[in-house]
Structure 1
Amino acid sequence: MLFIFTDLDGTLLNQNDYRYDDALPILGVLENKNIPVIPVTSKTKAEVESLCNKIGLNSPFITENGSGIFIPKGDFRFDTTQALTTDLYKYISLGLDYHNARGILGEISQKLKTDLVGFGDLSPEDIVNLTGLSLNEAILAKKRDFTEPFLTPKHINADLLQNIAKEYQTTIVVGDRFSHLISEKAGKGNAVKWLLNHYHNREEKIATIGLGNSPNDISLLENVDIPIIIPNPDGVHKGLQNKNWQVAPHSGSKGWSQIITEIILGHKI
């Protein structure tokens, strides 16, 4: 059994325009071969559902930096006895709830004596201007369940920020524009491990591929058999340059498509 775990922004989706057209042909091949493509992303459930509906993904998905694991109700490959239930999914929470995440970010702000500006402080229009998302996409990005992204404070020492977060059993996933306050029990790698550990058929040999483009994806890539770096348009992220991992030949969905095609079909596009 082969599982493909993939980041979205800058990986399956292009970094600048969020398009995925180049990946559609190989995604169709993977569907025909019953190879699940499992998004592992900082995006919300609402965002991932919207994307999956557009491109036809029917697999589990992992949201908000490994804080939520959503398994479609008709997917019986995984042990979901510990899971909670919604109309469409069984789900596992490895994170906080959003109200608590917002409260903790406020307390960290007070300790730092500076305003940490979270998504809850921003309008959808603000998020459009900061990210290049469409207005509808920005609205979906604000529908958070577990974590709070905030503008990365350039004037605050990252170690200090991280140490204060630890006092609340949380951690900070630092990004170039946005950082994310998440539970210390969450993380992309922990969510991947949860899914693999709860796969029903323990006797079946499992192989895993992981794809990502930034340091936020390191824990994902460390927990798969074949880790693959998708370069950004200007090259491999500096935070991944010391990793001895395979690098796709192109950025975004074109690189994603070509490297997966080479692995799955054994030839180049």
Structure 2
Amino acid sequence: MVLTTALIIFTDLDGTLLNSDTYHYEAALPTLKHLRQVGIPVIPVTSKTRAEVDTWCQHLELQDPFIVENGSAVFLPRGTVPFQLPAGEDAGAYRVLQLGCSYVMARAGLKAIAQELKRPLKGFGDWSVEQIQQLTGLSYEEAKQAKAREFTEPFLTPKNMSAAQLRQVVEARGFQVVVGDRFSHLIGSGAGKGVAVQAVIDLYQAWVPGQPLMTLGLGNSPNDTAMLEQVDYPIVVPGAQGPHPALAQRGWSVAPAVAPEGWRLVVEATLKKLAPDSVGQL
């Protein structure tokens, strides 16, 4: 792939590019094809594992880098990225830029935090694939891919404890936590969606020194805040009840519909403003 337009698109998956209820994405395929043809990278930024994102990249026909497990690592397809690969380990077809801790460290960290809190904290490493299926509603194959953690540990959010209390204990142990209503994610101190997005921008910028790069980011939840803060043009994709309250007051643009139609419409509209030469027959 050759970067022909100085624009990079970063996008969350669930509820942003994929419909949050049906996981439908077909409405976005023509736009994704056009972006691929004009050389505009589309970079998934998600809490999903490498195994999960690898599958979605096949469905969506994406050949660009992707960011996994809440910014814990960037996977760079060695055969398609236009820039020089940074130092790092190779895994399959990818060069891995690791920003967070290993899964072994995350598991050990969760046990230490549970001891300090004096309450059990159960994570994906404690459950079978079938149990994860029951807890998440995923299919067997999807649950198997979700369990294939490499850097972070999702765990049941403890009840009767504020997010601030949980963060205080976690950070004292040298980790970060992304607190969710049902599941929280224990991640390494050097990880984060914003950090990972900047790492990818730096790689592309080093390839075209002196050429300004524009960045577009799309997300739908507070977990995407760091990514949206890192880009030039942040866009919120609403849910069925509108944009998430935590994102609605930021003054960011809001897509006109839910995913995937809202993703398609707002990306096409933004292209016409930021990169009109790339629009063509879109």
Q: TM-score range, shorter-chain basis? A: over 0.9
Given the alignment, which residue of 122, 126, 138 partners 1:117?
122
Is 1:98 paired with 2:94?
no
After superposition, give the CA deviation of every residue in 1:89-122 in whole Å (9 maximum; x if it has no partner). 1111101100110110011111111111211122
Q: Match for residue 80 of structure 1?
A: 85
Alpha carbons 2:44, 2:66 under 8 Å: kept: yes
The structure 1 segments of at least 4 consecutive aligned residues displaced by more than 4 Å after TM superposition are none
Q: Match for residue 179 of structure 1?
A: 184
2:242 & 2:70 partners in 1: Cα distance?
A: 23
TM-score normalised by the chain length of structure 2? 0.91
Which deviates further from its counterpart, 230-239 or 98-107?
230-239
Which deviates further from its counterpart, 116-125 or 58-67?
116-125
Structure 2, unpaired ranges of 5+? 1-5, 274-278
Matches within 5 A, 1:27-176: 27-176=32-181
Report the AA paired with residue 2 of structure 1: L
Is 1:205 paired with 2:220?
no
Aligned length: 268
1:79 & 1:111 partners in 2: Cα distance?
A: 44
Offset, 1:191: 0.2
Is 1:247 paired with 2:251?
no
Q: Match for residue 276 of structure 2?
A: none
1:204 & 1:77 partners in 2: Cα distance?
A: 15
SS at match of 1:257: helix
1:154 & 1:75 partners in 2: Cα distance?
A: 45
1:232 & 1:114 partners in 2: Cα distance?
A: 34
Alpha carbons 1:229, 1:245 under 8 Å: kept: yes
Offset, 1:149: 0.7
SS at match of 1:8: coil
Structure 1, unpaired ranges of 5+? none
TM-score normalised by the chain length of structure 1? 0.95
Q: Match for residue 238 of structure 2?
A: 231
Alpha carbons 2:170, 2:176 under 8 Å: kept: yes
2:76 & 2:17 partners in 1: Cα distance?
A: 20
Alpha carbons 1:77, 1:201 under 8 Å: kept: no
Alpha carbons 1:42, 1:65 under 8 Å: kept: yes
Alpha carbons 2:74, 2:196 under 8 Å: kept: yes
Identity of aligned residues (%): 47
